[in-house]
Every structure is written in structure tokens, then in C-alpha cells.
Amino acid sequence: MHLLLIINTGSTSTKLALYHQAKAVTAGHIDHSQAELATERVIDQLPLRRRVVDEFLQKRDLAPSQLAAVVARGGLLRPMPGGCYAINEIMVDELRRAAYGEHACNLSAILAQQIAETTGCPAYIVDPVVTDELQPLARLSGLPQLPRRSVFHALNHKAVGRRIAAEFGKPYAECHLVVAHLGGGISVGGHCGGQVIDVNNALDGEGPFSPQRSGGLPAAPLTELCFDSRYQRRDIARMIAGEGGLSAYLGTSDVREVMGRIERGDERALEVMEAMAYQVAKEIGAMATVLKGRTQAIVLTGGLAHCAWLIEEIKERVEFIAPVRVLPGEDEMSALAEGALRVLKGEEPAGNYPPQEMARSK
């Protein structure tokens, strides 16, 4: 039996789980206070997060030597195709330096390597947010200085893609799907041949606006805003990712609060939510053109897929394209375990970081 430790560090929490094969046997979700996370750099949180992992194992009387592998959420790294990758020194060094961006997810692989080193078991990441399988045409933005980047909820996208493929009785590589992950950020991708060949950059400002992100913005007015003396660079960055979308319009990113306002007759809240659904549907339609109309299913997933009102608003505009499947939530922990198991069972090889073909082309 393969015993796996799963580590998923988020902006405000640390999620941990133990899996026997593909079945969770125990899990922990630790929320961190703002005071605990008030560090100059994300890497400064490493001792706190390590202490949480150690306490999780100690409470379950589990020695690291019992683990077959440690599996981590991937951080901000170089672009790479989807899959399971062995954590190595190059990866850990880049994450420590935040060479490709600061985010709490960078800590997951560092912690995984530390735990794995105590027993000699392998450590992996699976389908990181920088998964890049864009087709060549999707990389052109309109300015050669600004090529499009692939940054999205790859782990959940791929997991639900495989799940729908299994329901069809087909390999994932033979399916044509449009997957929309609806969460604090929203990413909509075209899945073809087992790859996400186009997807909006859900971090840097593309696609639909979301509870916390601005999505695509009018370029010329944004330029004026950047040179407005009232704002500094970090202010604009927060507007795009963190304080955009619902937060900017309504002062909250909590969809439950917004729906409560709508139920009490708040017309502005209704208009903004309708606009978010409208933009998601429009992006789904765009991805259907990427697949040249051969879409077998549209999949709505992520935390906001629990909101029945939002789902109906989107379905009304897109179900003429293809059948709509709703898979609420984002079972990242299971997806991480399943990715590592495919390697441990010999069903696919673990990738090496950095992938040579991507390293040469970037």
C-alpha cells in the first residue's frame, strides 16, 4: 500500500492529508492568522509551516519513514507541460528565491523535499499553476513584448478533465472539453488531446473578472491609471489581483454575502453578479471556437460552482454549445495523490525539472 503525505500551502492556510492509495485516511486544515503571516517575504513563513506539518504527523503517531512519497502543490516556476515532476534542488532554489513570483504555494514543494529527505522517499509536484501547453497561436497577444502566459488552476482543470473522460469511457487525451474553474480567480480552458491548448491567465489579468481579480481590462485607460500620481505600482497590482472584480465593485469577495444582498433587493449586486456570469459564458464561447466546435462537454468546477444561481446564469448562455456538467469544489488533495500514484504505479514517468524542451524555448 502506498502511503502519501499531501501538502498544500495557501495564502491563509495549510492543508495536509494522508492517503492510502487514492483514499484519504486523515486530513487537516490549519488557518493562519494575519499576525502569523505578517512576514516580509513568503519564505519567512517556512518555519511556521514546517511546525504545522511536524505536528500533523506527530498527532497521528506517524514516522516519515512510513511514507512512500510526499506530494506537494506546485509553485510559481518556469513554464512546463502538465504532469507529475520530481522535486529537485533547482526547483527548490527557484522557489526559495521566488524567481518567478511570490506566493504561499511556493512553500509546498520546499516542505515536501524537507520531509522526504528524512526518509529517502521521493517528493513530487503535480500539474502546477504554471502548466503550459498553449498552442503556438495562443501565445501571440498583439505585442511581441507581451507574449501570453499560461497561469491557471491546472491541477483542478486536469483532474476534472480526467474524471469526465472516464465517465465518457474514453482516455482524457481523446476528449475535447471546455473547463471553467470558478473560484477567487476564474480560468477557462480548452482541453484537446490531453492538453490545455488555450486558457486565460487567471493571475495577471485576462478573461472574466472574478471575486478578487479584475480580468481583462481596457488597455488605454489602464495605461492612464498606471501613470496617475495617486497610485503606486503595488496599488495597481492589487487592483488586478486581490482587490479587483467583485471586491472592487461591491467591497467584498464573498459570493455568499453578495447573494444575500441580491435576495434583499440590492440591484447593484445583481448587476455585478450577472456581469461576472456573462463574462464567464463569453469566455466559454471563445474556448469553444478554439476547439473548432468539437466540444463534447462544458465543465463548471471550483468553489463558486456550489452557487446554483451563478451556474444557471452561465448555463443559460452556453448549453447550446455542448452538455454542461457541474463538478463543484476543487478536490486538489485527491488530484495530487492521484498524480503521484500514476508515477508510483508505473503508469507514467515523473518529469525532470526544468523540462529541457521548455527551457530551450523560453
For position 132, what pLDDT does the model report?
Answer: 97
For position 360, what pLDDT does the model report?
Answer: 42
Name, in order, each residue with C-beta under 8 angstroms of 65's C-beta and a sequence gap of 6 or more: 118, 119
For position 12, what pLDDT does the model report?
Answer: 80
Same fold, 3-131+333-361 and 154-329: yes
Q: Is pTM, for the whole model, over 0.75?
A: yes
Q: How far apart are CA 151 and CA 95, in angstroms?
A: 16
Q: Which CATH class is domain 3-131+333-361?
A: alpha beta
The full set of domain ranges for the chain reads 3-131+333-361, 154-329
For position 313, what pLDDT does the model report?
Answer: 98
Beta strands in the chain (DSSP E): 3-9, 13-20, 23-31, 69-73, 84-86, 123-126, 176-182, 186-192, 195-199, 297-302, 324-328
Cell of 197: 491548448
Check if the beta carbon of residue 152 is closer than 8 Å to that of residue 213: no
Assign 3 to helix, strand or coil: strand
Cell of 223: 495605461
The topology under which CATH files domain 154-329 is: Nucleotidyltransferase; domain 5 (3.30.420)
For position 191, what pLDDT does the model report?
Answer: 98
Assign 123 to helix, strand or coil: strand
pLDDT tens, N- to C-terminus, the chain (362 residues): 689 999 999 878 899 999 998 899 999 999 888 788 888 899 999 999 999 999 999 999 887 788 999 999 999 999 999 999 999 999 999 999 999 988 889 999 999 999 999 888 999 999 999 999 999 999 999 999 999 999 999 999 999 999 999 999 999 999 999 999 999 899 999 999 999 999 999 888 899 999 999 999 999 999 999 999 999 999 999 999 889 999 999 999 999 999 999 999 999 999 999 999 999 999 999 999 999 999 999 999 999 999 999 999 999 999 999 999 999 988 889 999 999 999 999 999 999 999 876 544 44
Assign 302 to helix, strand or coil: strand
